[in-house]
Amino acid sequence: MAEFWMLVFAAVVVTSALVIVELNQNRTLSWELAYYGGGYLIALAVAHLLIRRYAPYADPVLLPIVALLNGIGLVMIYRLDLAREISAINRGEEVPTPQASLQLVWTGVALVCFLIVLLVVRDHTVLQSYAYTLALIGVVFLAIPALLPSSLSEVNGAKIWIKVPGLFSIQPAEFAKIALIIFAAAFLVSKRTVLSTAGKKVFGLVLPRGRDLGPLLVALLLVLGIMVLGKDLGSALLIFGTFLAMIYVATGRVSWLVIGILGFSAGAYLAYRMFAHVRVRVDIWLDPFGDPLGNGYQLVQSLFGLGTGGIFGTGLGAGRPDIVPFASTDFIMAALGEELGLVGVTAILLLYLILTARGVRTGLAAKDGFGTLLAGGLAFSLALQMFIVVGGVTRLIPLTGITTPFLSYGGSSLLSNYVILALLVRISDSSRRPAEAPAVPAAPAVPLDQANTQMVPAVAPPAHGGRG
Amino acid sequence: MKRPLRRVGYAIIVMVVLLLGNVAYTQVIKADDYRGDPNNKRTLVAEYSRQRGQITAAGGVVLARSDPVDDQYSYQRVYPEGAVYAHPVGYYSMRYGPTGIERNQNEILSGEAPELIAGQLSDLITGRDPRGGNVQLTLEPAVQQAAYSAMNDKGYVGAVVAIEPATGNILAVVSTPSYDPNPLASHSDATQRQAYNDLVNADPSPLLNRAISAVYPPGSTFKLVIAAAALQNGFTPQTAVTGEPTITLPATGGATLSNFGGETCADAGGGDVTLTQALAHSCNTAFAEVAMQLGGPVVRKQADALGVDGQPSDVGLDVVGSRLGDIPDTAALAQTGIGQRDVAVTPFEMAWITATIANRGDRMAPHLIAQTTKPDLTVISQTQPQSLGQAIPIPVADQLRDMMIESEKNTPGSGSIADLAIASKTGTAEHGTDPKNTPPHAWYVAFAPAENPKVAVAVLVENGGDLGTDATGAKVAGPVGRATIAAALAGGS
């Protein structure tokens, strides 16, 4: 029941936010708002009931937090729609297609996907068997935009989309990310022992043996290559960071971190020297006010928005977050910071912290190594993605285009993040499930000497992996 | 695996803390810098959404107000008097910025002035939106309306400026063609753009404030400045000056300078006439010779004293500088003596000079702003009449007045008022590359009643008004000036 009441709370917060937007925009309140709020609650309640039915022991905090983030995102996207509508009318231009209704549809689709994953993947350990298949699919999917003509794959200079004209666009990186994390978790679990023990010792660092990591490194380099060529630096950084964290979790070796960071530094330096767009990004980061109306415009406007919002914000619907370009996607945190202030940003960041901390806890509680690595990897990827985009928007780190999980406008991002949520819910269900009723090793039905021989895995088998 | 994963959890906490620290720095410590940055459009939008103060004319006639409306900007700027006051009042456009008084008094009107900030603090506490202060102008609605109608009804392109000589109060500032400022303050960007583009593409330009932002050759009206200098340098109103129809300019290889229509001065058959007659009949040859006798420095000294010094002035609106030119040689000095060559003045400057003569040489600072008040109508500041000093000695100013009364008697054109003595001077200024075949600019400067002046006016009508090359200052600009004077005196002001 805790989950249900938290969902009610989320729905109330989101509906209230919607009411505030309407009031601040001087629009008349109608019962339609209550329908939206009620509809949102019903959709969430259905998800809640299905979770309780198919993953009864799952962490009850995960879905409500995601519902709240998703709802706040929807309200802000709707609010930006209003602003775009007004400015289009003022300019005498055609009113652009509202994004909020589309995002609402995507939310529905994402919830359905969430439930499908929950229903199909009844036990996360089965994913291990598809590790290499998933990796292959992920890499191929990721490579498709590079092979498509620009008209079907390029948006704002980044060639990372698959566009189905007139229908929708997919960002394969969002989905490839999940496949690759599953692959990495499965691979690392199977190679764990070798990875954490073998290797030469240099300057106190135990150097790992490269060949043990072969397939993972091949996959990683392939993926990074594709992403960097497609100018998707944010995703490249995300995948790299997540893989590094997963290798560290699997091996417990700091040496891997040091090597990874050195490698990253070399890569970053090379990218800075080789690509003009990387240099531009870094220069903007170092001095956004050097060209406030040109290259620095986005970041400068984002900072203005945050500064104008101050501690308490202008109030939802009372600021001008639409001045920042891409306010509903990459810069949604700037929009929220302007209208909700430092207080609101802090609340949202804490929601992410709780969400990812619960994810890490799921990993810690998992009864199998694969579950631990997968939950840890997924949770960290959410946190890192949030860090990369929010850090970029607030000028903590250079800006790289990437969506804010659950908040930003975008179907691919929403779908893939709900899939991540489904996997976390699934793992948490199995890790929190009470040890199965004393299935006290019933007296062997067959005399031991007549029993079939068994394969004994190198890693301790999942304690409850009865269905495996 | 559990211990490293726990450390990854700590890393997530560190990332969130870093973000929080940076966001707090941005939203608290740097917030004021970002809010006040000139590139931050939000500040402009906030100002645009505030209840801006009123602009009123004398007698409380509202020229600009902010009406509450139900849209994102909350208040719509309205100009009830439209085109009549468009040039002095200006417009407050989101896209094109403010102009006129809307620009000059923006601090007061928007509520940003230091005197208004204290009030705003209490507004903040009581939860009211900060409001702007009000600006009351010296413009007299009857005078402004009469001057505007006189110009606009005839379709004249030009300007009228009326000043109260004793105080420097500006009673009218008219520039035609004018425009409706309301669409430029529209909350619809499309409407603003459409209106602005139409105005920019119109010819003659309605956006140009011809009273203060354009300079013209003053022609014969400038003879007042020359006469003022002469009367202080050995001349009297009775001094004999040449009555020849044409003189030859020195060192030009025979270039000549003629009276209007090649006539002799004052029908005197070419013999000498008095300085008074020369002014009354606007004889060019006489004033060319007087200027040459006085010499460049003397002429320049008097012009400087009256404000023809190239310097702009702020009278509540920015008036561009009027200038005498370089006067490189004696021929140029002769032409300067009749307000041609490089002499270029604003209609405002001519009204100011006329007001100075009317005020017996005591030069008052003209001003458009009577007072500014807080939203609760308590006075912030009030403009007091301020003398800038004696630009012409009193006896000389009185002599000039008498000469101008004679001039008015010789000025044809309609609109004379029974029992009213007007002191005036006309001008018909040639300009362009083919001056003899280009319709001249018509001037009329005057003050009345001559013995106890209440109003001084300057009228400029570009390119001959409706009379083409036949135009004279008397026929075209004179009636506009007299209509303006009549309105000013009828009001009992």
What is the distance between the alpha carbons of residues B364 and B380, in angstroms, rounded to a whole number? 22
A248: pLDDT confidence band, cut at 50, 70 and 90? Answer: very high
* ipTM, interface predicted TM-score of the complex: 0.89
Would residue A185 be called left, alpha or beta, if left means φ above 0 and alpha means ψ between -120 and 50 degrees?
Answer: alpha
pLDDT in tens, B122-169: 555 444 456 789 999 999 999 999 999 999 999 999 999 999 999 999
Instruction: Give the H/E segment covering residue B202.
Output: none
What's the one-letter identity of residue B3? R
pLDDT at B430 over 60: yes
Q: Which two tokens stand for residue B140?
A: 């007299």
DSSP percent split of chain B into helix, strand, coil, nearest 5: 45, 20, 40
Distance between B374 CA and the closest CA of chain A, angstroms: 27
Dist. CA A262–CA A76, nearest whole Å = 39
pLDDT at B493: 44
Determine the Cα–Cα distance for residues B433 and B16; give it in Å rounded to an integer: 74
Backbone angles phi, psi at A446, to 5 degrees: -115, 140
Q: What is the pLDDT of residues B21-50, one digit of tens each?
A: 999 999 999 988 888 787 788 877 777 778
Q: Which of B358, B440, B450 is nearest to B408 (CA)?
A: B450
pLDDT of residue B149: 94
Q: Is pLDDT of A51 > 60?
A: yes
Is the model's pLDDT at B422 over the cut of 80? Answer: yes
HSE-CB for B393 with a 13 A CA cutoff: 9
**CA-CA-CA-CA torsion sign (B256, B257, B258, B260):** positive
How far is A12 from B230, CA to CA, in rounded Å?
Answer: 88
Predicted local confidence at residue B465, as pLDDT: 85
- Mean pLDDT is lowest, of A401-415, A431-445, B48-62, B239-253, for A431-445
Mean pLDDT of the A92-96 span? 82
B358, B423 contact by CB (below 8 A) = yes
Residue B5 has its nearest CB partner, among A341, A349, A364, at A364
pLDDT of residue B127: 44
Distance from CA of B200 to the nearest CA of A (A): 19
How does B112-130 read in b/e, with b if 16+ C-beta sit within 10 Å?
Answer: bbeebeebbeebeeeeeeb
Q: What confidence category does residue A30 fall into, taking pLDDT thresholds of 50, 70 and 90?
A: confident
Strands A158-159 and A154-155: antiparallel
Question: A residues 91-130 near B, CB within 8 Å?
Answer: 91-93
Distance, CA of B44 to CA of B57 (rounded, Å): 27
Give the list of residues 6+ apart from residue B93 with CB closer than 8 angstroms, or none. B99, B184, B185, B192, B196
Of B66, B213, B220, B322, the catalytic one is B220
User: Rounded distance, CA B206 to CA B211, Å?
Assistant: 12
Give the mean pLDDT of A84-104.
84
d(CA A148, CA B123): 60
Q: Does residue A460 have a pLDDT over 60?
A: no
Q: What does the alpha-carbon distance between residue B221 and residue B227 come to, in Å, rounded to a whole number?
A: 10
Nearest to B42 among A292, A323, A342 (CB): A323
Check B1 against A369: CB less than 8 A apart. yes
Q: What is the mean pLDDT of chain B?
A: 88
Please determine, for residue A415, whether its predicted confidence score (pLDDT) is greater than 80: yes
Q: What is the mean pLDDT of residues A189-216?
A: 70
Residue B211 predicted with pLDDT over 50: yes
Residue-wise pLDDT for B434-454, tens only, equals 888 888 899 999 998 988 999
Predicted model pTM: 0.67
| DSSP-derived pairing of the beta strands B55-56 and B134-137 | parallel
pLDDT on residue A207: 63
**Dist CA A440 CA A461 (whole Å):** 18
pLDDT grade, residue A463 (50/70/90)?
very low
Active site residue B220: yes
Per-residue pLDDT band for A209 (boundaries 50, 70, 90) equals low
Return d(Cα A314, Cα A328) in angstroms, integer: 18
- Supply A373's token pair: 């690595």
Q: Are B369 and B136 in contact (CB under 8 A)?
A: yes
Chain segment B316-337, per-residue pLDDT in tens: 999 999 999 888 888 889 889 8
Give residue-wise pLDDT tens across range A141-194.
Answer: 888 888 888 777 777 777 788 887 776 788 888 899 999 999 999 999 888 777
Token readout for B245 is 């129809």
B interface test, pick of A353, A381, A382, A431 with most B CB neighbours within 10 Å: A353
Q: Distance from CA of residue B410 to its chain's centroid?
A: 28
DSSP secondary structure letter of residue B103: H
Highest mean pLDDT among B255-259, B365-369, B427-431: B365-369
- Res A320 pLDDT > 80: yes
Query: Is residue B60 within 8 Å of residue A342, measured between CB atoms?
Result: no
* CA nearest neighbour of A72 among A27, A2, A9, A3: A9
The predicted pLDDT at position A196 comes to 65
- Contact across the interface for B22 and A396, Cβ inside 8 Å: yes
Asked if A369 is an interface residue toward chain B (Cβ–Cβ < 8 A), one would say yes
At B26, list the tokens: 């941005």
Per-residue model confidence (pLDDT) at position B86: 94
* Cα gap B22→A397, rounded to integer Å: 10
pLDDT classification of A92: cutoffs 50, 70, 90: confident
Can you tell me the distance from the alpha carbon of A326 to that of A84, in angstroms, rounded to the nearest whole number?
11
Cα separation, B442 vs B282, whole angstroms: 14
A257: Cβ–Cβ under 8 A, 6 or more apart, which residues? A244, A248
Instruction: Look at B116 and B31; give whichever has higher pLDDT.
Output: B31
Please indicate if any CB of chain A lies within 8 Å of the CB of B19: yes
Extract the tokens encoding B286. 């006489």
- Residue indicated by tokens 């209440």: B454
Q: Is the Cβ–Cβ distance between B410 and B280 less than 8 Å?
A: yes
Q: Do the beta carbons of residue A325 and residue B41 sit within 8 Å?
A: no
